[in-house]
Amino acid sequence: MCIMKAIGISCTMVPLLASLAAMVGGCGGDQHSAHVSEQGGGGTGGDMVGHGGHGGTAGHGGHGGTAGHGGMMGHGGAMIEAGEEIYRSICIACHTIGGGTTTRAPDLQYMFVKHPGWWNKAWIADPAAMAEADTTAQQLVAQWGYIMPDFDLTAEEIMSVMQFIHNQTMIGPVVQPSPVDLSSAQYDATKQTYFNRCAGCHGTHRGGGVGPAIDDTHAKALGTETIKALLDWGTPRGMPAWGREGILTDVEREQLAAFLQLPVPTAPEMPLDQIKGTWELVVPPSNRPTAPEHARDWENFFGVVLRDPGQVAIFDGDTYEQVATIDVGFAAHILRSSSTGRYFYAVGRDGRVTLIDLWTNPPSAAARVQGCYDARSVESSKFLGFEDQYLIEGCYWPSQYVVFDGLTLEPLASGSVLGNAVDTNLPLDEVRVASIVASPFEPVWALSLKESGHVGVVDYSMPGFPLVEKIPVETSLHDGGWDRTGQYFLVAAQSKKKIAVIDVQNRAVTASIPTGDKPHPGRGANWQDTVFGWVNATTHLGEGKLSVYGTDPVGSPQHAWQVVREISLPTAGGLFIKTHDASPWVLFDMPLSSDPTATRQVCAYSKASGAVDHCFTPSSAGRAVHFEFNRHGTELWVSVWGDPGEIVIYDAISLVELGRIKGLDTPTGKFNVYNTAHDVY
Ligand code: DHE
């Protein structure tokens, strides 16, 4: 039985990243045994009686989750056993005991030697209060970049877990149980769960990305219980709490822990002929309206991703009416506009692309296709003379890009992005296409190639749409966007803690700006700073910091490509930042914070003062995520994930609430037609 349920610990984490990439895996087989030889044993038992003091500890020898405390009797033994259960279901996610500091948290033996009992007790009881008042706690937070979550343990539970840790220091590392055996059906189902929930961050072939590598070697080193606890509680650095959020059951976590300790299966390819087979032209261009069928200002439409139902809702930005709802694919991810703005292109995590015609009444799907099993990005051709002509889709799997006709989605070409990594020069079997931008200066798209660390340049004026250049940058490239000129592509190299600056026109890396742990700018935000000229900014997933960097090599060369303002924030978990020329504010969210209050907040940085002016809470529940301005920059739209979700609309200057669109299922990214077509951010 789950110890958390048994002791009634409250669940404070709410779903995020709830549905990820859907994908068909390759490997099958009959019986997939994850069983490794049973470690530990029954434990020899100690002779501890009473309050479980220092001496006479139990013989450890944990097997499937219970230690061998056979000889322990009375309150002390029971207490240590209770403490062990808590340790094995919570603390083990991040801490070892005598096993060495992990990348997630310090070793507990070390903590107990270094700090007195009262201190450890106070820290476990209320980490946030300690971080506020105690200098040792502050040093710890500074070192690790986050405050340990508060697990709401009672005084008795804290005592028991401390007793357990105290006694463990004499015994050595905790032995983890063997993984369960998986039947063929369980293996296949778990493989799908991995692709749906984990592959987006850890890679199709489990080589890592936003999250660390979890191939079988890494997984075995973590151990069954550590993996299960990580899946249950998530981490303060952004891994969702799949168990606490009610998305993965105890059994599913157990099976995932076993699956991850088995060799990595190979995923299938998707050649162009197969992609062509998925193409569905719903309305040929010749049958489409030649002028809008409605009188609405379609350039002020908002396309809103409803992630969990895999839909896009189209809203009239003037009246807030929902004018259409269109199915677009599993865990819909983002929208991009054609360069005239008439069409939206939606991409689902299952690689399905949907072309939405905004001139029909109501707006409707005009074509569909699937270019990948797993994808996150699309972009249209934006260079003069190529308006609405082409669309590119970047795949997470297979390692390729696909080019479609922009009006029909007919698949035209695909190209591999496999290659060697920029740092090791070793060949890779998985290279994911992350963010894509379309140059306003030439007929090219710039593609972030995550694992290899290149920015690829695809020329859509050339036959076959070739990858004409691979600019070596940094590995772990993720999200990014243009500077205000459209010459420099600013993209996060997340694990390198940098924003890379690529001069796409000159095919060169201009700078690498060290900003902080796991920068996550979305497409970023461009504005004119009172001192430093044009700047851009990012918050971070891994630490509480807003970094503002100069992007004005012409007007303010002495500040270009350097962090010019650094603002410490109380919490990590930032995802998006956004502004508009018409607004005095730069807004940012922190939906992946481990502090539930912060997840609901939006903070407003003042362009005038160069400081965070205030934060506000769009909703008393759920999480605030992602922003978009309306066409003229007079309104700010914020998504709230709740039950149900909603969009809250603010005046872009006063930040006074103007309205709410309620009853939406997981509203996430919002894309105003004009702003998306013209790269306004
Ligand atoms: Fe996204 C943009 C990848 C999780 C909402 N996301 C992007 C981009 C990439 C990416 C590569 C840039 C696209 C571009 O500009 O061409 N996202 C990933 C992941 O790999 C990751 C971490 C895990 C996964 O498996 O998908 C992930 N993303 C999320 C979420 O959990 C979010 C918050 C909600 C959701 O969709 O489930 C989310 N991502 C978004 C949004 C954008 C985005 C709203 C577009 C931002 C913009 O303003 O352009």
pLDDT digits (tens, 9 = 90+) for 192-201: 899 888 988 8
Pairwise pLDDT comparison (20 vs 380), residue with the higher score: 380
Catalytic residue selected from 72, 94, 130, 201: 201
Q: What is the mean pLDDT of residues 668-676?
A: 98
Amino acid identity, residue 603? C
Rg (CA), the chain: 26
pLDDT at 597 over 70: yes
Quote the crossing angle between the two packed helices 224-233 and 74-89, to the nearest 10°: 70
Give the DSSP H/E element, type plus range, for residue 452: none
- Ligand 1 centroid from CA 579, angstroms: 18
With cut-offs at 50, 70 and 90, classify the pLDDT of residue 365: very high
pLDDT digits (tens, 9 = 90+) for 524-567: 999 999 999 999 999 999 999 999 999 999 999 999 999 999 99
Lowest mean pLDDT across 20-24, 57-61, 236-240, 641-645: 20-24
Beta strands 667-672; 301-306: pairing state: antiparallel
Question: What does pLDDT average to over the chain?
Answer: 88
Atom of ligand 1 nearest to the CA of 394: 16
Q: What pLDDT does residue 32 have?
A: 39
Q: 388 and 369 in contact (C-beta within 8 Å)?
A: no
Q: 376 and 47 in contact (C-beta within 8 Å)?
A: no
- Which residue reads 């692709």 in tokens? 195
| Helix, strand, coil share of the chain (percent; to 5) | 20, 30, 50
Sheet architecture: strand order including 411-416:
374-380, 390-397, 400-405, 411-416
pLDDT digits (tens, 9 = 90+) for 42-64: 222 222 222 222 222 223 333 33
pLDDT at 324 over 90: yes
**Which amino acids bring their CB within 6 angstroms of ligand 1?**
17, 20-21, 200-201, 210, 307, 333-334, 376-377, 434-436, 478-479, 522-523, 575, 625-626, 668-669
CA distance 516 to 145: 10
Q: Which residue lies with its CA nearest to atom 14 of ligand 1?
A: 435
Quote the crossing angle between the two packed helices 155-168 and 74-89, to the nearest 10°: 90
pLDDT at 237 over 50: yes
Strand partners, 651: 635
pLDDT at 65 over 60: no
Q: Which residue lies with its CA nearest to atom 37 of ligand 1?
A: 17
CA distance 412 to 521: 32
Q: Which residue lies with its CA nearest to atom 6 of ligand 1?
A: 376
Question: Is 395 an annotated catalytic residue?
Answer: no
Q: What pLDDT does residue 201 have?
A: 85
pLDDT at 71 over 60: no
Q: 515 and 537 in contact (C-beta within 8 Å)?
A: no
pLDDT at 73 over 60: no
Question: Is 11 an annotated catalytic residue?
Answer: no
Q: 567 and 574 in contact (C-beta within 8 Å)?
A: no
Atom of ligand 1 nearest to the CA of 479: 12
Diameter over CA atoms, the chain? 87
Catalytic residue selected from 48, 239, 603, 615: 239
Which of 23, 198, 247, 333 has most ligand 1 atoms within 8 Å of its beta carbon, as the pocket-test mutant? 333
Q: What is the mean pLDDT of residues 506-518?
A: 97
With cut-offs at 50, 70 and 90, classify the pLDDT of residue 100: confident
Pairwise pLDDT comparison (436 vs 175), residue with the higher score: 436
Question: Is 201 an annotated catalytic residue?
Answer: yes
pLDDT digits (tens, 9 = 90+) for 192-231: 899 888 988 898 889 887 788 999 999 999 999 999 999 9
Q: What pLDDT does residue 171 have?
A: 60
> Six-digit token pair at 471?
């600019």
CA distance 633 to 232: 41
- Ligand 1 centroid from CA 4, angstroms: 31
Catalytic residue selected from 69, 95, 478, 559: 478
Q: What is the mean pLDDT of residues 495-501?
A: 97
Q: Which of 379, 309, 386 is nearest to 344 (CA)?
A: 379
Q: What is the mean pLDDT of residues 419-425?
A: 97
- Ligand 1 centroid from CA 576, angstroms: 10
- Ligand 1 centroid from CA 641, angstroms: 15
Q: 407 and 285 in contact (C-beta within 8 Å)?
A: yes
Q: What is the mean pLDDT of residues 417-438?
A: 97
Atom of ligand 1 nearest to the CA of 437: 16
Counting Cα atoms < 13 Å in the Cβ hemisphere of 502 gives: 31
Cα 316 from chain centroid?
29
- Ligand 1 centroid from CA 281, angstroms: 27
pLDDT digits (tens, 9 = 90+) for 368-414: 999 999 999 999 999 999 999 999 999 999 999 999 999 999 999 99
Question: Is 54 an annotated catalytic residue?
Answer: no
- Ligand 1 centroid from CA 514, angstroms: 22
Which of 479, 575, 589, 676 has most ligand 1 atoms within 8 Å of its beta carbon, as the pocket-test mutant? 479
Q: 573 and 554 in contact (C-beta within 8 Å)?
A: no
CA distance 555 to 551: 9
Atom of ligand 1 nearest to the CA of 669: 44
Q: What is the mean pLDDT of residues 241-248?
A: 90
Atom of ligand 1 nearest to the CA of 434: 11
Q: 393 and 401 in contact (C-beta within 8 Å)?
A: yes
- Ligand 1 centroid from CA 333, angstroms: 6
Lowest mean pLDDT across 66-70, 421-425, 572-576: 66-70
> Six-digit token pair at 234?
């998530």
Cα 253 from chain centroid?
20
Catalytic residue selected from 205, 333, 520, 626: 520
User: Which CA distances in Å does 117 have to 56, 105, 518?
Assistant: 19, 18, 34
Euclidean distance between the first and the last CA atom of the chain, given in angstroms as a whole number: 49
Question: Is 51 an annotated catalytic residue?
Answer: no
Residue 67 burial (CB < 10 Å; 0-12/13-18/19+)? buried
- Ligand 1 centroid from CA 376, angstroms: 7
Quote the crossing angle between the two packed helices 155-168 and 117-125, to the nearest 10°: 130
Question: Is 2 an annotated catalytic residue?
Answer: no
